[in-house]
């Protein structure tokens, strides 16, 4: 590639890659619809109170790109919400009500209700989310 071709190529690439940002900045004040703020820092409805109360937990697949396991009911003081993907090797943990902990069926890792590791082989905590009930909806957002 010749030097001039390379400079033209980089210049066009730079313009093309900055267009979505420029459009997003212009729209941000008008309609607040930029993709960067749609999923990571806003409350998302993941189910209804009836769905949560039915089993005392609610597994939501693909929220927005990962799974979320909510534990509690509409009567609970605090709802627990975690990414149930075990940090050891990726199995899905389940909630153990009697033990008040998450347990992994694959290799026995256990996590507290705060997502912290209580028993290996996992060494990293589960990702946690903030959850609340508003009207008849269960809402979650990343911490
Ligand atoms: S995948 Fe959970 S303990 Fe190994």
Torsion angle of the four alpha carbons 102, 104, 107, 112, in this order, in degrees rounded to the nearest 10 = -10
- Of 125, 121, 122, 124, the C-alpha closest to 112 is 125
3-state helix, strand, coil in the chain (%, to 5): 25, 35, 40
Nearest CA to ligand 1 atom 4: 107
| CA-90 nearest atom, ligand 1 | 1
Q: Is the pLDDT of residue 79 over 60?
A: yes
Domains annotated on the chain, with CATH: 3-37 (no CATH), 44-142 (2.102.10.10)
| CA-105 nearest atom, ligand 1 | 2
The residue to mutate among 106, 110, 125, 126, having the most atoms of ligand 1 within 8 angstroms of its beta carbon, is 106
Question: 122 C-alpha vs ligand 1 centroid, how far in Å?
Answer: 6
- The share of the chain scoring above pLDDT 90, in percent, equals 55
| CA-89 nearest atom, ligand 1 | 1
CB atoms under 10 Å from CB of 52, counted, come to 23
Range scoring the smallest mean pLDDT among 96-100, 103-107, 124-128:
96-100
Q: Is the pLDDT of residue 37 over 50?
A: no
Question: With bands split at pLDDT 50, 70 and 90, how would you rate the model's confidence at 1?
Answer: low
pTM of the predicted model, to two decimals?
Answer: 0.69
Q: Show the ligand 1 pocket: residues with CB < 6 angstroms.
A: 86, 88-91, 104, 106-109, 121-122
Residue 3 pLDDT: 55
Question: 65 C-alpha vs ligand 1 centroid, how far in Å?
Answer: 21
- The CA distance from 22 to 115, in Å, is 39
Bond into 5 cis (ω within 30): no
The residue to mutate among 105, 121, 124, 125, having the most atoms of ligand 1 within 8 angstroms of its beta carbon, is 121
Question: With bands split at pLDDT 50, 70 and 90, how would you rate the model's confidence at 116?
Answer: very high
Paired tokens of 83: 């990414």
- Residue range 40-76, pLDDT digits in tens: 578 888 899 999 999 899 998 877 777 899 999 988 8
- The CA distance from 132 to 108, in Å, is 30
């Amino acid at each position: 590639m010749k030097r001039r071709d390379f400079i033209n190529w980089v210049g066009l690439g730079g313009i093309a890659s900055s267009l979505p940002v420029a459009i997003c900045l212009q729209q941000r004040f008008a309609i607040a619809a930029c993709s960067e703020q749609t999923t990571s820092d806003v409350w998302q409805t993941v189910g209804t109170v009836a769905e949560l109360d039915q089993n005392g937990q609610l597994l939501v697949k693909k929220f927005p790109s990962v799974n979320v396991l909510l534990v509690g009911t509409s009567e609970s003081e605090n709802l627990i919400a975690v990414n149930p993907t075990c940090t050891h090797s990726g199995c899905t943990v389940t909630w153990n009500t009697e033990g008040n902990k998450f347990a992994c069926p694959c290799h026995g890792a256990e996590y507290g209700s705060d997502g912290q590791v209580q028993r290996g082989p996992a060494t990293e905590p589960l990702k946690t989310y903030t959850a609340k009930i508003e009207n008849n909806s269960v809402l979650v957002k990343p911490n």
